[in-house]
Every structure is written in C-alpha cells, then in structure tokens.
Structure 1
C-alpha cells in the first residue's frame, strides 16, 4: 500500500520511511507542508502520516485543506504537540488518528493498517475471497488453508484488489498502489503480476474487465 509521509526531521523521516517499508508500505516522503499538499492533491494514496510542525505550511493547515478538498484518505497525525487542545483540534479538523512522538514503528504500522481497512469497510484484519485468505500484518496468503508463496509485488497487488473488492481498478491505479517515487515500472508490470497470481491462485479469482482493468469479487471478512 502506498502512503505519504510528511516529516521535516531528516533523521526521523528516514527512519520512518525505512521502517514502514519493512512493514510492506510503499512510502513517498516529503519534508514540508507545501509539498505534502501538492502530493495529496496529485496522487491516490492509501493513507498519509502527517507531522504538524512542518515548514512552509503547518500540518494542521494541510489537514484542513485535504478535508476541504474532499479527500477521504485516512490521515494519521504524528506530532510532538501532546497538549489535549492540540489533539482535539487535529481530530476536529479531520484527522483519523493521532500519535505522539516518539512512536513505536510496529504500533504505527498497525494503526495505519487499521485505518486503511476501515476506510475500505473491512472490520477485521484478515481478508477473504473465495478460498483465499490474506493477512496484511504478517503479509501471508493461504489458499484452502495452505500457504501460498507470493512476491512482495504480487502480495501488494492482491491486497489492493481485495481491499477494493467489487470495484474495477485500472492498471494506472494499481501502479499507484504498488510503486513509490523512483521505482522503475515496466510497461506491462501489472499484467505480469496478474499472470503470476493467476498461475499460483487459479484463473477464477481475478477477473479482467476488458479495456478497463481488473476486479475481484466482493470480499467476506474473516472472523479468524
């Protein structure tokens, strides 16, 4: 899942970007509020991690802009401002979660996964489609109870389709889910990943909508 990180501290930003990538996120990192606003308007992110004390434009202003513009992506505020009035203001401006620095990376990743799945109407962590079950936390996939070995890109593509079950995703939308800045994208990368997923999971799971993109049947949330 591709997310935006807005953090001006170079040491913290580098650590967060590296740590969240280890948790399976594709991370675009910006260092000021103007860049955060520009990227939020231009890209389709799964979520954003937003520091409030940003140069050029305060993070609270960026948050307010995003909601005024009708952007519905989950936004997690990450800040050293721990006063209760600041937290209340951030939540009232449209933040979905509020974490005080310093933050544990495992907790931050878990909070992001929870925000993303709730934004897609998924009440629990595990996702199911037919006999396939996907666990975003452990980045594992089971089919009929047996583990399936997927590459990182294959997992991310399947995750995106399962989160958006019942909705057609174009190749361009899937590329935005799979790749962050500076990563080379082959012209047929999505088609290749879909081909590999069908070979491993069967041809009946991912459906092609000719001239539009790909779709999965509606996901049933697992109770496990």
Structure 2
C-alpha cells in the first residue's frame, strides 16, 4: 500500500490484518519498489496524490517496464478524466475515497483471483475446493480442519495449480511484511498438509519447490 494519509493507512492496515491479508505500508513515491520480483506481493494499493510525486506517473512507469502486478488505485479524485487516466494508465481497478473497507477487500480478492487464473469464488483442483473469502477448504465435499499455515500454503500452491512454486517464493509469501519463513518450517507444515489432503496431491520438485497436482 502506497498511501500518505496516516489515519487512513493505519485503518486499512488494521482492516486488512483482520482479513488475514499481510500489508506493507509506504508513504512516498521514492519508497516504492522500482520492480517487483513476482513473489513478494500479490497486489498494490496506490494513492494518486503522494507528497513527492504522482501515483499515476508511478503506475505508468511500472507498466512501461512490463510489471504486471495487479494495481488498485485508491484516491479522492472522482472526476471521469481521473478514472479514465488511471484505468488507461494500467490500473486493474479504481476505488474512490471514502470507501467501505469491505468493498476494498472484495476488490482485492477479485484482482488476485484473476491473477491466480481462477474464474470464481471457489477454486477447484481435483476433489479440493477452496473458498478464500470464507477461509474454507473441502475435500470431496468434506470440510477440512487446516491450521492457518497449512491453509496459507494450500492457497499459495492453488494460485497456480500444475505449476512449480519455488521454496523462496513460498517463504516470502507466508510471512507478513516479507520476512521469510525458514524452509524447514515450510516442510513441516507441508507434511501436515499432505496428511490431510493426500500426499500425492503435492509434488516436490527437488531443489526447486512444490506443485499442487491438477
């Protein structure tokens, strides 16, 4: 999240944390990453009016550099030309302040779902069905009792079923604010997850990472 308003930034961090969404908060264009490695973030919330520059210019630079991370503009600018400039500049969504945090969370889920190649609220993979909005997983119709880390691991693997997810990527995604989780801890959680969904569903690619079978 790149937002200079202190009250709004704090409120959004609390709201996102309540939805189990980890959020790193920056307040200036100068603090924003020049590039994204594709592992650290699933979405960017971007204000247009920042103290040291234009969020729109930042958005255009990212898109010109080929950065495809989902970006949701959050701004008080409600004029049609501002909305068109944001969307034409590469934003995936445009939310006008003030907004309900519930709506913003829903929009975050929607753009992340599209990026995750999932067309509906329920992600299906074989007999597994994952409902991120409800933090619910079923296997052949039976609800699974997953620990938070087990659930998070499954969701990250399910974003790209049939594709290998690197260990380093999982480590980065599973800890708030980008502090990596130890590989040994990931293997422990994966072992427990395998016992609950079936060991054959998660394939280990030695020296690289893991893949959720389709």
Alignment TM-score, normalising by the size of structure 1: 0.89
Query: In the aligned structure 1, how far is the partner of 2:208 from the partner of 2:32?
Result: 30
Q: Tell me what 2:139 maps to.
A: 143
- Equivalent residue for 1:15, pick from 11, 16, 29: 11
Query: In the aligned structure 2, how far is the partner of 1:112 from the partner of 1:166?
Result: 24
When residues 208 and 43 of structure 1 are mapped into structure 2, their CA distance, relative to the original with a 3 A threshold, is closer
Alpha-carbon deviations, 1:102-127, whole Å to 9, x = none?
11111111111111111232111111
Partner SS, residue 61 of structure 1: helix
- Equivalent residue for 2:168, pick from 169, 172, 175: 172
The answer to whether 1:61 aligns with 2:57 is yes
The answer to whether 1:188 aligns with 2:184 is yes
Q: Tell me what 2:121 maps to.
A: 125
Query: In the aligned structure 2, how far is the partner of 1:166 from the partner of 1:182?
Result: 25
The answer to whether 1:88 aligns with 2:109 is no
Q: Which has the higher contact order (CA 8 A, sep 6+)?
A: 1
Cα root mean square deviation, aligned: 1.8
Question: Number of matched residues?
Answer: 214
Query: In the aligned structure 2, how far is the partner of 1:30 from the partner of 1:167?
Result: 32
Q: Tell me what 1:103 maps to.
A: 99
Contact 1:127 1:135 in 2 (8 A): yes
Alignment TM-score, normalising by the size of structure 2: 0.93
Unmatched runs of 5 consecutive residues or more in structure 1: 219-224
The alpha carbon displacement at 1:41 in A equals: 6.3
Contact 1:77 1:90 in 2 (8 A): yes
The alpha carbon displacement at 1:141 in A equals: 0.7
Partner SS, residue 201 of structure 2: coil
When residues 68 and 46 of structure 1 are mapped into structure 2, their CA distance, relative to the original with a 3 A threshold, is same
